[in-house]
Amino acid sequence: MGWKSSLIIIENKEDFTDESKILEALGKSEYEFDRELTLDECIYPNDKSINIGYYNGNIIISDDYQLTTNSLERADKLNLTEEEKKLVELFPISEIVTVACHSAINYHGYSLIENGIKKRLKIISSDEPRIEFGERIKEENEIYDKSYSKGNQNFWKDDDDPEEDFTEDQLMEDFTFGIAKRRLGVLLDHSDGDEIMEQVTFRKYKSPNQTSEVEESIKTDKKAKWIKYGIIILILIIWQILKRTVFKN
């Protein structure tokens, strides 16, 4: 299975449930409730939505790469982004884990915030230089301990084929879901994650302008088609006039 996901997992020490405050902190205060669904349906929504659920003492936000891109790929070392600062204001003593992956380029990234301080950030993919700040955390070390070094790179043996090696970007699921397990207690890509994937209710929020944007796109397409038809008709009219005048003489 090719995984695509981006999650923000917040330790929910005080049973916080005010989702309007969460949306406001994320800079999405205009988003409106759309419907209820499962994480399996919204782990990669591909619709620019924000999806919020609760599991094992955590708030889980599936954000469709809207925020994780800033928190990971566009991060300024271990400095907090504006959205992260707002989340820390809401949850000043909570642990916040951000994870994202995209199988098309073997991309995975994650960060860890503790007590308002970003302690760890790592990003790696098959076609970009790795980015890494802060000390490795326990969940990472458990994966790295199974590797061996060659030419300043880590490799992992393939259990099914001892002659083959895995590179770090190829262990996308191991790192992504291994780090998420730090808070969730389960691996989302294994059977122990079936409950949260299939049974926990998430609430989808979408921009009220999204529908109008789609409608505007449809109108633009229709307008372009009518312009094309109009040009064709005009050419035909001119051709008929030329046939009756210039060519006839």
Distance CA(211)–CA(226), nearest Å, equals: 23
Residues 6+ apart with CB under 8 A from 85: none
- Between CA 121 and CA 98 the distance in angstroms is 9
Q: Which residues of 112-134 are buried (b: 16+ CB within 10 A; e: fewer)?
A: bbeebebebbbbbbeeeeeeebe
pLDDT for the residue numbered 60:
98
Pairing of strands 201-206, 131-134: unpaired
Question: Does the pLDDT value for residue 200 go beyond 60?
Answer: yes
Residues 6+ apart with CB under 8 A from 73: 109, 123, 131
pLDDT at 227 over 90: no
Residue 84: closest CA among 100, 67, 69: 67
Tens of pLDDT, residue by residue over 109-139, are 999 999 999 999 999 998 888 999 999 999 9
Q: Are 170 and 107 in contact (CB under 8 A)?
A: no
**Can you give the pLDDT at residue 247?**
57
Q: Mean pLDDT over all residues of the chain?
A: 90
* Beta-sheet pairing, 107-114 with 50-55: unpaired
Percent share of the chain, pLDDT over 70:
88
Contact 90, 13 (CB under 8 A): no
